[in-house]
Amino acid sequence: MNKLILKKGREKALLRRHPWVFSGAIQSVEGNPGTGETIEIRDAHGQFLAWGAYSPSSQIRARVWSWEQTEEINQTFFQNRILQAAQLRDEWIDKTTTTAYRLIHAESDNLPGLVVDRYNNTLIMQILSAGVEHWRDQIVESLASLDGIGCIYERSDVTVRDLEGLPERTGLLFGELPKQPMIIKENDLQFLVDLATGQKTGFYLDQRDNRQFCRGIAKDKSVLNCFAFTGGFSVYALAGNAESVLSIDSSEEALHLGKENVILNRGNLDKTEWITGDVFDELRTLRDQGRQFDMVILDPPKFAPTAAQAKKAARGYKDINLYGFKLLKPGGVLMTFSCSGGIDAPFFQKIVADAALDAEVDAKIIYRLNQAADHPTHLPFPEGSYLKGLVVIRGE
């Protein structure tokens, strides 16, 4: 059996059940494990710690599959883990009002590097680690055995695969992909999603609860939705009887789907405005025009995937929040988010506070928001809690 031996004292994270082993913690590798193969992880004294997937190209040299020495990593193992993840969603997702949700959330579902989102009866699968790549066929077989699955489509077209030494890949794995775009339901609203070419796996499922929150406070408000993508927050604001909604995104195609989504939900297009352009530039233009709004929503893409990029990314977050505050009417509501894993919640709050200071406004946090329940965070793995949101009121 191939073995990975840790340096003395470097087993502490594993004893706390954190699932990553970094290259700097390794004393030696016994045997000749291939990329993604299962490897036995032991401490410097030879004591068993875990079974992991070996990734020679990554700084995360191994990701833990199991902490039980007697457990075998095989088809049955993946079948059981996938069923456990599905059962959790059965308990926490109301299938009568919502047909799109995250089925498997990687490390937080004890399947590191595997992301699977369900859209109606179609699964979109992302393989982000060498271990999942190694067991790809068995995982697809297990997913296909779930009730009601008609299609599995791979969207492993993400740059993080470079860190694992894996090429990007997309394509059909099982069944037949429905005609795109297709309609899904979320909180009884409907959305067109393009599973084959849309951002992420087609829709930002992690914001489901936060969109619903927006719906509840949007009544009679003028709303500015930045980084609008296909208009998720815009549709919810209109469903909450917003007075008007201005949506900005760099993708004309995404905004076209946004308009279609408004129509799909019988929203009033006359209450909407759509701007295709760079959000930073458009925010400056709106400021120079003296525009102001009752609600500003800032849901940017990932500026800092890792902590090493946090300092540079902080400038971008500060700038958009500075403009957000300047565009808010006194008493207005700012809903601001960061999905960057490299920026933790205290740092994000500091960035927003600095933006308010530079904008010369007084502001208070009234709610903290995060990802929906189908994106759980395993307690030993705080990195799983990546989405941070603040609901901030500008002083009068």
Q: What is the DSSP string of 11-45?
A: THHHHTT--EEEGGGEEEEES-PPTT-EEEEE-TT
What confidence score (pLDDT) does residue 192 get? Answer: 96
pLDDT tens digits, one per residue of 122-158: 999 999 999 999 999 999 999 999 999 999 999 999 9
| pTM recorded for the entire structure | 0.94
Q: Is 339 a catalytic residue?
A: yes
What are residue 369's DSSP bridge partners?
389
- pLDDT value, residue 287: 96
Boundary residue ending a domain (66, 87, 110): 66
Looking at the structure, tell me whether residues 385 and 253 fall in a common domain: yes
- Beta strands 122-127; 151-156: pairing state: parallel
Domain that holds residue 140: 75-182
Do 55 and 156 lie in one domain? The reply is no
In a domain, 102, yes or no: yes
Phi, psi values for residue 352, rounded to 5°:
-65, -40
Neighbours of 290 (CB within 10 A): 7
Q: List the chain residues with pLDDT less than 70.
A: 304-307
The DSSP secondary-structure symbol of 309 reads: G
Would residue 193 count as lying in a domain? no
Q: Let me know whether 16 and 100 are in one domain.
A: no
Helix (H) or strand (E) segment spanning residue 317? helix 310-327
At residue 358, the pLDDT reads: 96
- The span from the CA of 256 to the CA of 260, in Å, is 6
Say if 196 falls within a structural domain: no
| Shared-domain flag, residues 95 and 46 | no
DSSP one-letter code for 395 = P
- How far is residue 205's CA from residue 341's CA, in Å, rounded to a whole number? 17
User: Does residue 259 sit within a domain?
Assistant: yes
The reply to whether 27 falls in a domain is yes
d(CA 3, CA 322): 51
User: Which of 147, 182, 217 corresponds to the end of one domain?
Assistant: 182
Q: Mark whether 40 and 16 lie in a shared domain.
A: yes
Cβ 255 vs Cβ 274: under 8 Å: yes
Assess whether 37 and 169 both reside in one domain: no
- Are residues 47 and 88 part of one domain? no
- pLDDT at position 305: 67
Does residue 195 belong to any structural domain of this protein?
no
Q: Is residue 110 included in any domain, yes or no?
A: yes
Show the DSSP H helices in 97-147 as ranges: 130-134, 136-144
Q: For 281-322, how does the pLDDT look when each residue is reduced to its tens digit (9 = 90+)?
A: 999 999 999 999 999 999 998 876 666 777 778 889 999 999
pLDDT of residue 309: 78
Among residues 151, 182, 213, the one where a domain terminates is 182
Q: Note whether 19 and 38 are same-domain residues.
A: yes
Q: Catalytic residue, from 151, 214, 226, 339: name it.
A: 339
